[in-house]
Structure 1
Amino acid sequence: MKEGDAAGVVHRDEMEAEVFKALLCFAYTDSLPVTEKEDEDVMYQHLLVAADRYNMERLKSICEEKLCKFINAATIATILTLAEQHHCEGLKKACLNFLRFPANLRALLDSDGFDHLSRSCPSVIKNLIAMSALV
C-alpha cells in the first residue's frame, strides 16, 4: 500500500509506534513482544484499545487478563474506565471486586481519575453507589 509521496510509509496517528509494532507482532506470531516492566501496564492498556478497534478478540482477551494483575489504587480509575468503554466484562468485574474493600473505594474517590471516570462512565458510578449501599 502506498499513500502519496511518503515513500511507502503509512501513518497511524491514533496509535504509538510501539503499540503498533506489538499489534503487528501479535497478528503475525500470535504472541506479544517482551516489554519494559515499568511500561507493561500502559502497553496493555493501549493494546486493549487497539485490539478493540481492530476487532482482535483474542488479543483483547489477553490484554484484559494481563491488566487484571495491574489493578491497584493508582490504576483503578483508568483501568475501570477502559473496561467500561471497551466492554471488558471480566476486567470490569475484577475492578469492582477490588473496590469492594472500603480503603480501595476511598482511594478511587480521592483520586484525580475519579472525575474522569464519573464524566465518561456514569453507569459505573451507579454500580459503585449500589455496591456501597450493600456494605
Structure 2
Amino acid sequence: QAERFLSWTALSFTMFIRRQELESSKYLRNDLFTIRCDITILNYIRGVPPFIPEPPCDLRQEFAKLLETEMGADVVFEVGGETVAAHRCVLAVRSAVFAAELFGPLKEGNAATTGVVVRVDDMEAEVFKALLRYVYTGKLPEMCKEDEDVTCQHLLVAADRYGIGRLKLICEARLCHYINVDSLAIILALAEQHHCQGLKKACFYFLAAPGNLTAVMATDGFQHLATSCPSIMLEIMAFLAH
C-alpha cells in the first residue's frame, strides 16, 4: 500500500512516502538521503502519572539524626574531656581502623555488648565530632571560614589515623586553597607526614612561582622544616630543577 499506518504498542508512525515522490525529491542525492529522528524520552514508568516525582534519598539525614539522638548507641568515646556516643557497626563499616579497634579485642564477647568505652588521645573533641559527622553522612559540617584551614589540618590527621581515605582527600583539596607564604611550611610538613602526594605537589607548584621560594625561605617555619625534614628539601630541589 502507498499509504498506511504502522502501529506498535502505544506509538504510531505517520504515513510512508510514495517511492515516486522520494525519487523526485530534492532530498535524494546520489541515491542517498538522510532521515531525521526526533526521540522523546519518557521520564516515568509506563502507567505511572508523571506528576508523582520520585522523592530524593534521605539516608544522609536519617543517619545524621541517628548520630544526634544517640538512639541505640553502643560505644562511648572519651575525647578532649567530653564523651561522644556512637554505633560500633556504623563505624566499623566506614573504617577498618574502627572495626579493628571496636571488634578486634571483643571477638570472644558478644558483638551486641553495650557500654564499651574508648579513650581517644591527642585529638580535640570538636575534631572527633566532625569526623563522626562525616562517617555517618559522608559530608563535613559547616565550618567557620576563618578557621577552615586549621580545622581541615586537624581533620586530615584524624582521617589518616582512622583510614578514611575520601575525607583525607577532601581535606587535602581544601588545604590547597590555603597555601601561601606563611602557611606553606606547615602544610608541606603535614603533607609529608601523612603521605598526601597531591597536597605536596600543590606546595611545590606554589614554590615554583616567581618570588615565592625566596619569600618562603625567609620564614621561620621553612627554616624549621629544613632542619627537621631535610629529605623534603631534596624533593623541592628536584622538582624545581625540572
Shorter-chain TM-score range: 0.7 to 0.9
Choose between structure 1 and 2: higher helix proportion.
Answer: 1
Distance 1:45 1:80 in 2: 11
TM-score, scaled relative to structure 1: 0.87
- Tell me the residue number matched to 2:237: 129
Q: Deviations over 1:44-90 (max 9, x none)?
A: 00000110111110100110111111111111001111111111111
Q: Once the 2 structures are TM-superposed, how far is the Cα of residue 13 of structure 1 from its aligned partner?
A: 3.0
Q: Deviations over 1:94-113 (max 9, x none)?
A: 00000002421112211111
Q: For residues 51-130 of structure 1, what are the structure 2 equivalents within 5 Å?
A: 51-130=159-238
CA contact (8 A) 1:51 1:60 kept: yes
CA contact (8 A) 1:76 1:95 kept: yes
Distance 1:14 1:79 in 2: 19
Alignment partner of 1:47 out of 123, 144, 155: 155
Give the gaps of 5 or more residues in structure 1: none
| Higher alpha-carbon deviation: 88-97 or 106-115 | 106-115
Q: Which has the higher contact order (CA 8 A, sep 6+)?
A: 1
Identical amino acids, percent of aligned pairs = 58
The structure-2 alpha-carbon separation of the partners of 1:102 and 1:23, relative to structure 1 and needing over 3 Å to count, comes to same
- Tell me the residue number matched to 2:129: 21
- Tell me the residue number matched to 1:12: 120
Q: Once the 2 structures are TM-superposed, how far is the Cα of residue 119 of structure 1 from its aligned partner?
A: 3.1
| Higher alpha-carbon deviation: 19-28 or 106-115 | 106-115
How many pairs align?
132
Distance 2:76 2:221 in 1: 41
Coordinate RMSD, CA, aligned = 2.3
Aligned AA (2:221): G
Distance 2:124 2:76 in 1: 20
Choose between structure 1 and 2: higher strand proportion.
Answer: 2
TM-score, scaled relative to structure 2: 0.50
Give the gaps of 5 or more residues in structure 2: 1-74, 84-114
Aligned AA (1:104): N
Moved over 4 A (4+): 6-11
Larger radius of gyration between Structure 1 and Structure 2:
2
Aligned AA (1:92): K
